[in-house]
Structure 1
């Protein structure tokens, strides 16, 4: 499978936003039309989109479902969605709408029986999102930090049946300071399933660093693309034509 550069679209109140380190009080709005943003990234060469329902992450239910449905209809590339997915009803609604992958986050820690059953029933269509702050997992839209070690939790999630993991380092998210390669390498050593990196990527060099870590199959990029510190084309070129 080729190494993927996955643009992120975070939706809050129907707008495209980015938070700094998951802080809802440190929000920047980058557009009021998530569908137009999705089309932009698809037109620029994205092979997959990562959508986060920030309202849903805090509410525990899908709050921007209509916008997500419109995005899926507007682009011809796979879409993965996270934020507020804590029931089979929400999973079914999203998958029926054409979402390719649903990302479980808080449910992994708060409702492991649901998560384990979801992995068994939906297989590759449900994946794990592990969000870490200072090496410990965070839940409820990153508003709560636990005492659970993120690397050990990743191994546990694989045992539960997850087919892949998105690993986000909250301390790097939105900071444009580069990915936490040490934590990512530790996660990749702890599991045998693919890992998608998220948080801090802002240069082509960051992509090269991540590609060198065995087990990482892609990276989610958000603020760097919106702030223009790099371009989607530059990140895709960093992957190389043979990979893309």
Structure 2
């Protein structure tokens, strides 16, 4: 199981939000590129980047920080947040981002997302952020009536690189992942599913690896130091 340290960007800084709430922000670093180098020194083989400004406003406000990260490290970086048109997809892939996570636009225009997956096979991941099993959009500000698993299944035949499945209630709360929801999604799909939200301890990593999930995105636990990256990598191998 891959471990993806998360770097959430807002206003060019490295931050974390509790449950996606823009009013509950903690700044963890002024220099995202140095944060990326830190994770590589700790053993990271991939990074998960989130443009929080982009997720909410649909504008890439953190492009300079993203470019700096890509210049600083030579490992695959996937990026989500505000990716809602083909021009943005082309620009970001052109910068050297390995994979882009599309959420809101895929829910609102599934036919467009299918078309983009055909044009950029396995370069796009489907971002599904769920609140009580239902898909949330627009930087988690809106909750739709679509059930997460039904939504995912409509892309089963498409060249989707991965599904990034986030349980909003657990995100940033250090209360453990929603294992039943993660297992249900994984078992319903042939596309690799990466778990996000709530991972707090090495035991959480072991539990997700046993499902088995394709990967786990970890943010708050690393920044609050309830878990170290070397320990998480070891737990994923077990």
Q: Deviation string for 1:14-61 (max 9, x for gaps)?
A: 111100111111111111111110110011100100000000001113
SS in 2 for 1:123: coil
The 8 Å contact of residues 122 and 159 in structure 2, kept in 1 or not, is answered as no
In structure 2, which of residues 19, 25, 29 is the aligned counterpart of residue 21 of structure 1?
A: 19
Q: CA deviation at 1:126?
A: 0.9
Distance in 1 between residues matched to 2:180 and 2:93, nearest whole Å:
34
Distance in 1 between residues matched to 2:115 and 2:63, nearest whole Å:
23
Distance in 1 between residues matched to 2:59 and 2:156, nearest whole Å:
24
In structure 2, which of residues 202, 205, 212 is the aligned counterpart of residue 204 of structure 1?
A: 202
Q: Report the counterpart of residue 225 of structure 2 in structure 1.
A: 228
In structure 2, which of residues 39, 46, 56 is the aligned counterpart of residue 41 of structure 1?
A: 39
Q: CA deviation at 1:172?
A: 0.3
Are residue 69 (structure 1) and residue 63 (structure 2) matched? no
Distance in 1 between residues matched to 2:159 and 2:145, nearest whole Å:
23
Unpaired runs of 5+ residues, structure 1, are none
Unpaired runs of 5+ residues, structure 2, are none
CA RMSD of aligned residues (A): 1.1
The 8 Å contact of residues 102 and 124 in structure 2, kept in 1 or not, is answered as yes
In structure 2, which of residues 212, 215, 218 is the aligned counterpart of residue 218 of structure 1?
A: 215
Aligned length, in residue pairs: 238
Q: Report the counterpart of residue 8 of structure 1 in structure 2.
A: 6
Are residue 238 (structure 1) and residue 231 (structure 2) matched? no
Q: Report the counterpart of residue 132 of structure 1 in structure 2.
A: 130
Q: Report the counterpart of residue 180 of structure 1 in structure 2.
A: 178
Distance in 1 between residues matched to 2:203 and 2:128, nearest whole Å:
24
Q: Deviation string for 1:94-124 (max 9, x for gaps)?
A: 1110100011010111122221111111111
Q: CA deviation at 1:159?
A: 3.8
TM-score, normalised to structure 2, is 0.97
SS in 2 for 1:61: coil
Q: CA deviation at 1:160?
A: 4.5
Are residue 79 (structure 1) and residue 77 (structure 2) matched? yes
Distance in 2 between residues matched to 1:43 and 1:226, nearest whole Å:
15
- Report matched runs for 1:18-167 at 5 Å: 18-167=16-165
SS in 1 for 2:121: helix
Q: Report the counterpart of residue 193 of structure 2 in structure 1.
A: 195
